[in-house]
Chain A
Amino acid sequence: MKYKYQFLLLFIPVFLSCEKTDFELSTNSDDFFFIENEGAQMPVWVQGNTNSKKMVILLHGGPGGSSFIFDAFFEAFTRPLEDRYGVVYWEQRSSGTSQGSVDPESLTPEQFEADLSGLLEVLQSQYGMDVAYYLAGISWGGYLGNSWLINSGKQDQIKGWINIVGPHDFKAIANVGRDKLAFYANQQIGYGKEVEAWQEIQEWCASHPTISNTADFLKENQYANQADILMFDSLDMETPPPSLAAQLKFAFDSPFNSNAWLVNLKGIQDSNLIETLFERPLDCSKITIPTLMVGGYFDFVVPAPVLQDQFEQLSATEKSIHILPRSGHGLVGHEATKLVSLMIDFIDF
């Protein structure tokens, strides 16, 4: 009788295993965990060579995008990085496949920054303070990275900052982007290319000489993304469109949840985040750590002149900017090899 319930002890390891963490440095890490903050449960997937003691924290685009998409569909970008470094795929709040009940009021740049600070603390506690952490932001992730470096007071904990088509001033990208759209609309109509689509853009630009509100910004952003596709002939497409099998695998056999992504995106759209960002330019002169900036010559969303302006603001003594000649806003898919090469040069040397 004394030992009647002793068999229950057998189950204890099963329950404890749910809470166990054994994130060890490895040449082929595959660690998965969540960070929870202010109602959001955000997945974090650490892959690749963490044994290198160099980790790249990927800040996805959007707001509302997904880092898991890069892992699944942009292998030319991610695999060479994973071979050399640990890559941290983090799904931001109300983005990608993150979960939780998120108050729309919490969708502020400050809250995203607080989440990133927390993520860095978790990584440091799990993988060590001696690991060199790099931030790599893509588009909105570039803005978030800039903002975090400026405001968190923790930029000394980051070894280097890689900004890929990330803006610092949404009003500037809207207006410079509008001018670029107008220029290329005239040019492409003159060449007789995609005339109907470019005429619509031309007419819209003519009726909107200045963009001063978020409704016009969102429309300009829509046309800018469309221009990326219209200029297809001028772009390298290293990353082919994902196969149906890859898409099905991603949808049904990965941690990703397509329905959750749509709901999360709606959460972003219903919030005031875009309005806030439009009136929140950043002063990048406060960024002092080594910085690599990469843009696309045919990027209409975050045009190269805005990146150049941002670059000149940086106070970092080690800084460089590269505008890839055959890339648009989606340069991670366009000239992935060049981008990765620049990143490796920046991180290793």
Chain B
Amino acid sequence: MRNLLLLFLCGFPFFGFAQGAFNIPKHQIGISYFGETLLHPGVVLSYDHSWKSFLIEKTSKKGKVKDKLYSLEYGVRVGGYNFTRNHTGLFLAPILTMTRTTPKGSFYRMGFQAGGIAKILNAPVFDLANSTSSPGMQDRYLYFMGGFRLGVGKDLSVKHPKLPLKWQLGSSLFFTHPFSSSQLWQNAIELGLTWKIG
């Protein structure tokens, strides 16, 4: 019975406020390539504010302690991409992100974003209701945008304390609504850097 309890305790994660080996920045700003369907190029700028973080200590059967830092961040993303002869998308979306970081600096993150996207048709638009002889100015359309962001990366400051940088690779899966008579799902690949501030 005592062994069972020990086993249980070994496997039980201990929660605590994040400290120690983890350098938690208050603010982070980032810039990433934003490739809608990979090849439609764009850029996204992001700001994240650290909201909550907690450390989970997990002890393996061999008695090895493994720390994982979970942090909750809120922020905003502003970006755009160009889909030639289709549209240019400009978006602004608040985002809530959960990041899991190891002591070595590797992390993965999941986020939920919701905001707005303006799609600008990047060719002349003839509005048949107004004029068929000259293109009109009604070529910007606003849509609701929502979706997920997944990513992995590495905190370079763990190895190089004077380098407050992270690189990350991820994907944004988002929908724009309305489209046709429902919504359009889009995917973007992101690769970029984040600066840790404060």
**Does A330 interact with chain B (Cβ within 8 Å)?**
no
B179 CB to closest chain A CB (Å) equals: 6
- In this complex, how many residues of chain B approach chain A with their Cβ under 8 Å: the count is 37
Nearest neighbor of A45 in chain B, beta-carbon distance: B85
* Residues on the B chain within 8 Å of A252, using CB: 37-39
Q: How far is the CA of A20 from the CA of B178 in the complex (A)?
A: 28
B125-141 at interface with A (beta carbon < 8 Å): 125-129, 132-139, 141
Main secondary structure of the interface of A (DSSP, over half): mixed
Q: How far is the CA of A118 from the CA of B135 in the complex (A)?
A: 13
Known: A252-B37, A259-B186. A37 touches B128 (CB 8 A): yes
Q: How far is the CA of A271 from the CA of B180 in the complex (A)?
A: 11
B179 and A115 within 8 A (CB): no
Main secondary structure of the interface of B (DSSP, over half): loop
Given A43, A102, A104, which contacts B123 in the complex, CB threshold below 8 Å? A43
A13 CB to closest chain B CB (Å) equals: 15
A161 CB to closest chain B CB (Å) equals: 22
Q: How far is the CA of A180 from the CA of B185 in the complex (A)?
A: 41
B178 and A263 within 8 A (CB): no
**Does A97 interact with chain B (Cβ within 8 Å)?**
yes
* Stretch from A28-36, A139-147, A234-242, A300-308 that touches the partner: A28-36
**Does B86 interact with chain A (Cβ within 8 Å)?**
yes
**Does A67 interact with chain B (Cβ within 8 Å)?**
no
- In this complex, how many residues of chain A approach chain B with their Cβ under 8 Å: the count is 42
**Does B121 interact with chain A (Cβ within 8 Å)?**
yes
Contact flags (1/0) for A217-261 with B, using CB distance below 8 Å? 000000000000000000000000000000000011101010110
* Residues on the B chain within 8 Å of A19, using CB: 124, 135, 137
Q: How far is the CA of A231 from the CA of B181 in the complex (A)?
A: 37
A33 and B126 within 8 A (CB): yes
* Residues on the B chain within 8 Å of A43, using CB: 85-86, 123
Known: A19-B137, A252-B38, A253-B39. A118 touches B178 (CB 8 A): no
Q: How far is the CA of A125 from the CA of B39 in the complex (A)?
A: 35
B182 and A99 within 8 A (CB): no
**Does A50 interact with chain B (Cβ within 8 Å)?**
no
* Residues on the A chain within 8 Å of B19, using CB: none
Known: A21-B134, A33-B135. A97 touches B86 (CB 8 A): yes
A95 CB to closest chain B CB (Å) equals: 10
Known: A34-B126, A43-B85. A101 touches B132 (CB 8 A): no
* Residues on the B chain within 8 Å of A327, using CB: none
Contact flags (1/0) for A283-298 with B, using CB distance below 8 Å? 0000000000000000
B83 and A257 within 8 A (CB): yes
**Does B84 interact with chain A (Cβ within 8 Å)?**
yes
B119 and A255 within 8 A (CB): no
B135 and A263 within 8 A (CB): no
Query: What are 17 A-B contacts defined by CB distance under 8 Å?
Result: A18-B120, A19-B135, A34-B121, A36-B125, A36-B129, A36-B138, A36-B139, A94-B180, A97-B86, A100-B180, A101-B179, A115-B128, A121-B132, A260-B179, A263-B180, A263-B182, A267-B182
Instruction: Report B's interface with A, CB cutoff 8 A.
Output: 37-39, 83-87, 119-129, 132-139, 141, 178-186
